[in-house]
Amino acid sequence: MENLTKTQLILLVLLVSFMTSLVTGIVSVALVNQAPAPVTQTINRVIEKVTTGKIEEPGGGGALIITSEDLITKLVADTLPAVVSVIASKDVPVIEQYFINPFENDDLFRQFLGDSLPQILIPQYRQKGTEKKQVSAGTGFFVSEDGYLITNRHVVEDNTAEYTVLMNDGRKMKAEVLARDQAQDIAVLKVEGSGFNFIPLGDSEKLRAGQTVVAIGNALGEFQNTVSVGVIAGLSRTIVASGAASGPEILQEVIQTDAAINPGNSGGPLLDLAGRAIGINTAVAADAQSIGFALPINFIKKAVSDVREFGKISYAYLGVRYVTITPQVKEDRKLPVDYGALLAAAEGQAAVINGSPAQKAGLREGDVVLEFGGTKADKENSLAKLISQKKVGEKVSLKVLRDGKEIIIEVELAERPTNL
């Protein structure tokens, strides 16, 4: 070192510095490559994944979905071809107005007044033939490509009317009413043909309060394809619906929504954000705002299945009157359980109806039905609801509490009589 010149010493220092920097750089690159991705990289990837996500259409094409608004507009565009206006037409009298002079053919007035009769004209009315006119309109939607569609019973309640559907593309097609459900406000119609756009059916048992829904209908019978958006405000409501020609009726297990449902929307679909029908728009609270009701789609599934299989809508029948047991009922009646269906007489009518499947199976007044077909009977799953999920002729096991002991009773369900 002592023999090195000043210049050589400077060059040596620079060389050592260069080598040190080179080694440090190599080590740093190796460490960076092995380290987790920086936060900014992670955020960029998340954003990239969201903004490039796609929802594939049934035909295989893709549509970029970025916002809930885009999702709803696409859902509506895909669904509208399956929604129709249901129009009722019938022959109605043509009434003609004419005028008469009450004194014109009165001999006594003519004798005294001659031709100076007072010119008094009184309007009269008479029928001059008939003409076919539209008498009502509602909404419906296709549930299969072979022309089955559904609407509310009160939309097609007139047995003397003829029904046509107005398609979204302007076509008018004759529709046949295959079945009117006497228990629920449902009707099944059929249009001849195939290849119709239809709406897939969801599962109303999986609905949640607060879930976003879309209602489509023929508002006021005039504004076709009216769309409204809201949420499910409540489930399993019981209401008394009026306005039908047959009078008020009790509807159970209905969906409450704040999506606008107007007169004329009846029979239209209530959709989830996947484009599946989860209800059929049915009623609106007249004295309130944004309170509408829809029948659960699982009711419609059963109706369509019955019509395809039996040509009519039928309901299973047990033949009992009961009180749903709650903690309060348990306390009031000194019962040993706080759930189930207590078979009890009501308003002078027997708890077990004479000649019913329940009587034939040996059920008695005072029995408590704890389970029906393996499902616990309680406030959430009433006995009536459990029965409605079964088919005519189906054999069901009942777990019954009688005199403090649990027994199993087998029953074969019959078809519900039309007078019930």
Distance separating alpha carbons of residues 178 and 313, to the nearest angstrom: 9
For 23, 30, 60, 123, 367, the CA distances from 34, given in Å and listed in that order, are 17, 6, 40, 100, 72
The 3-state secondary structure of 261-317 reads CCCCCCCCEEECCCCCEEEEEEEECCCCCCCEEEEEHHHHHHHHHHHHHHCCCCCEE
Parse the chain into domains and list their residue ranges: 204-299, 316-415
Q: Tell me, what's the pLDDT at 23?
A: 56
Q: What is the dihedral of CA 338, 341, 344, 349, to 10 degrees?
A: 150
| Fold classification of 204-299 (topology level) | Thrombin, subunit H (2.40.10)
Distance separating alpha carbons of residues 415 and 319, to the nearest angstrom: 10
**CATH for the stretch 316-415:** 2.30.42.10
**Weakest-pLDDT range from 114-118, 158-162, 260-264:** 114-118
pLDDT, tens digit, 9 for 90 and up, residues 272-319: 998 999 999 988 776 666 788 999 999 899 899 889 988 888 889 999
Q: Tell me, what's the pLDDT at 57?
A: 47
pLDDT, tens digit, 9 for 90 and up, residues 133-153: 767 788 999 999 999 999 999
For 52, 221, 359, the CA distances from 72, given in Å and listed in that order, are 18, 23, 52
The answer, as to whether pTM is greater than 0.85, is no
Would you state the structure tokens that stand for residue 44, as one six-digit string?
A: 């960029």
Residue partners of 222: CB distance under 8 A and separation at least 6: 137, 264
Q: Tell me, what's the pLDDT at 56?
A: 47
Q: List the one residue out of 167, 218, 158, 208 whose CA is nearest residue 191.
A: 167
Average model confidence (pLDDT) across the chain:
80
pLDDT, tens digit, 9 for 90 and up, residues 319-374: 999 999 999 999 999 999 999 999 998 877 899 999 999 999 999 999 999 999 99
For the annotated catalytic residues, the residue numbers are 154, 185, 266
Contact 213, 259 (CB under 8 A): yes
